[in-house]
Amino acid sequence: VKTDLVPLVHSILDRFDMNKTELIGIERKIPDEKIDVWIDKDKITQVIDNIMSNAIKYSPEGGKITFQLIRERKRIKISIKDQGLGIAREKVEKIFERFYRVDKARSRELGGTGLGLAISKEIIEGHHGHIWASSKEGQGTTIYFTLPLMNFKRGGRR
């Protein structure tokens, strides 16, 4: 359904601010305007939940998470940046594969199934968006995804 993305992401991030126990700061770079997108709210919430929980889960020393929402000409771009462990260059693309986990032993301790990002990719591509990652081992990870803006929805229906 037609959804204003700005209050939706604020409410998701408010929930993370409430529940976080560690000393993790979440910085928001979100424009103060209405940004309508045509989305399944629950599914996009699930995507942001997973990327945010990963950022927290894989940032052992705490650190800062930066959530940025940018409006481009035909799409919005969200990036979620952490200062955690990072991922080796040759493994970055694999994190979107089903059941893939970078460090099996460590990931097992942290819990999870290795499905979060595979499901996120399916959801984003189902919305005609893209999802990708950039990371440097030891310096943190940024996950990006895009969603088409309302007026540019495929098929031209409003």
**Residues near ligand ATP (CB under 6 A):** 50, 54-55, 58, 82, 84-85, 87, 95, 100-103, 107, 112-118, 141
Rank residues 49 and 137 by Cβ distance to Mg ion and give the closer one: 49
- 8 Å CB contact between 119 and 27: no
User: Tokens representing 26?
Assistant: 């979440």
d(CA 30, CA 9): 9
Neighbours of 18 (CB within 10 A): 7
Smallest distance, Å, CB 60 to Mg ion? 15
E strands along 7-157, which residues? 24-29, 36-38, 63-71, 75-81, 131-136, 140-148
Contact 55, 110 (CB under 8 A): no
The entry of Mg ion, ligand ATP, none near residue 146 (CB within 5 to 8 angstroms by kind) is: none
Site size for Mg ion, by CB under 5 A? 3
CB of 111 to ligand ATP, least distance (A): 7
Q: Which does 114 bind (CB under 5 to 8 A by kind): ligand ATP, Mg ion, none?
A: ligand ATP
Nearer to Mg ion, 38 or 96 (CB): 96
